[in-house]
Structure 1
Amino acid sequence: MPIQISIVVPAYNESARIGRTLEDVLRIIAERQWDAEVLVVNDGSTDNTAAIVQGFMASHPRLRLIENPGNRGKGYSVRHGMLEAIGNIVMFTDADLSAPMEEAERLFAAIQNGADVAIGSRWLDRGRQTVHQPLYRQFFGRCFNAVTRMVMNLPFADTQCGFKAFTRPAARTIFQLQRIERWGFDPEILFIAIKRGYRVQEVPVTWGHDERSRISYLKDGIKMLEELVYVRWNALTGVYSREVKEYPVEIPATKF
């Protein structure tokens, strides 16, 4: 029987929290009795992130460590993991688990009800936020989202939440076409999903801000704006309309 769910966790120098993250993820898998694999994608970490994951692997055969060829970025890491995943539903979550792993059931329910892509949202129900971002982060985040909605014509309240799930066929198509390798990949994959005709559902999730977040809204925000233009160029030149590889293994529908 194929693995039903794949959970991808991109990780760069996460030694301070990857152990706790894996404990939480593996605990929820056991409690919910999910038929699941976990893939940690090590993005060229210079600390002992890989060694910690390998320690867990000794007692968890469905935990896999995938190595990037050096530090390539979050977008590359997510794509690498999603294309290596063998589950019928594939999702990715940030290593800080800002959205608790239990909330994945909300994404799975959306897919069970017909969505091809389910994306977690911090803004559809702000009452679900347990730890709020500082005001300056909220301001820059909302401004970036507003610009993204305008430039990319994306109808979502939150494009950047690192908590998204996909059916296997949708993931295989979207992530083969993804080109952005760093922070700006989220709007790109949503743009591709809509362009390819997939049904995307936004789902409110419980979420708590982690002060250790590495994103800089000034430096990275400027880069992400450049990447929005790059996405538009790719769309104009037909990059997202190309054929993708077919995968011969047919995975039966997941049942929850």
Structure 2
Amino acid sequence: MVPEYSIVIPAYNESARIGNALTQVLACVHKHGWNAEVLVVDDGSRDDTAAIVKAFSLQDPIVKLIQNPGNRGKGFSVRNGILHASGDIVMFTDADLSAPMDEAERLFEAVRNGADIAIGSRWLERGRQTVQQPLYRRFFGRCFNAVTRLIMGLPFADTQCGFKAFRRQAAQTVFQLQRIERWGFDPEILFIALKRGYRICEVPVSWGHDERTRISYLKDGLKMLEELVFIRWNALTGVYDRPVKDLVPPVPVVKGHP
């Protein structure tokens, strides 16, 4: 049976969190009765991430493991998972589940009500933040978002929240055109979506900061600024105007086995 929903989780050296994440995601899927698949994309982890996912796949067949050819970055992992997905609605979430999985229903509802893409936002309703970021992270995050809005013309309060859902056709188009493979992919996919005429709905979601987040606002922030220039160059040279396949058939996923 083709699933209605596909949930993609990028994972790199997540042995400390992936078991809890899958437990929560599966509990939510079964509680809501979603016809879903859960795709964990292992980005060349050097720990037990893949083994843990394989163990879950034996207990619940909706869990599937995809393994990247080495460490390629979050953007590559999300794209790899999305292009393997079979669901009518495809979403991705971070392994830390900073946005609780129950909040996915808010994204799904937005898509069912006509949006092509629904993006979670930490800033539309700040009262929904259960654990706030440290002040310095909030400062750098808001600065990056302001620069992104200025350079890219993106009218969203939060481009970086790792909690987004797509109608299948929109996902296939956007992620076939995506070029950035690391942290800066979020502005790119939103830029592509607007350029291709897709309707994007920003949805306030509950969110709690996880101190174990790996992003460095100085090092990775500078890299993401460089990637904004790369996006603009791609737009000028017509990369995002290229034709794509109307609908890519789901790529068979190899399930994990011990």
Smaller-chain TM-score bracket: over 0.9
Aligned pairs (5 A) from 1:25-174: 25-174=25-174
How far apart, in 2, do the equivalents of 1:69 and 1:187 lie?
24
* 4+ runs deviating over 2 angstroms: 246-250
Q: Which residue of 1 aligns with 2:17?
A: 17
Do residues 231 (structure 1) and 231 (structure 2) align? yes
Q: Which residue of 2 aligns with 1:215?
A: 215
The structural deviation recorded for 1:249 is 5.7
- Are the counterparts in 1 of residues 169 and 247 from structure 2 also a CA contact under 8 Å? no
How far apart, in 1, do the equivalents of 2:248 and 2:131 lie?
44
TM-score of the superposed pair, with normalisation by structure 2: 0.96
The structural deviation recorded for 1:248 is 6.6
Q: Which residue of 2 aligns with 1:254?
A: none
Q: Paired residues, what number?
A: 250
- Deviations along 1:35-83, one digit per CA (max 9) or x if unpaired, are 0000000000000000000010111111100000000000000000000
3-state SS of paired residue (1:165): strand
How far apart, in 2, do the equivalents of 1:188 and 1:50 lie?
28
Change (3 A) 1:97 1:248: closer
Q: Which residue of 2 aligns with 1:244?
A: 244
Do residues 186 (structure 1) and 160 (structure 2) align? no
How far apart, in 1, do the equivalents of 2:197 and 2:248 lie?
22
Report the residue type matching 1:175 in the other structure: F
- Deviations along 1:80-127, one digit per CA (max 9) or x if unpaired, are 000000000000000000000000000011101110000000000000
Change (3 A) 1:248 1:23: closer
The higher-RCO structure (CA 8 Å, 6+ apart) is 2
- Cα RMSD of the aligned pairs, angstroms, is 1.0
How far apart, in 1, do the equivalents of 2:67 and 2:110 lie?
31
Q: Which residue of 2 aligns with 1:253?
A: none
TM-score of the superposed pair, with normalisation by structure 1: 0.96
Q: Percent identity?
A: 74
The structural deviation recorded for 1:247 is 2.8
Report the residue type matching 2:34 in the other structure: W
Show structure 1 runs of 5+ residues with no match.
251-256
3-state SS of paired residue (1:29): helix
How far apart, in 1, do the equivalents of 2:156 and 2:123 lie?
10
Show structure 2 runs of 5+ residues with no match.
251-258
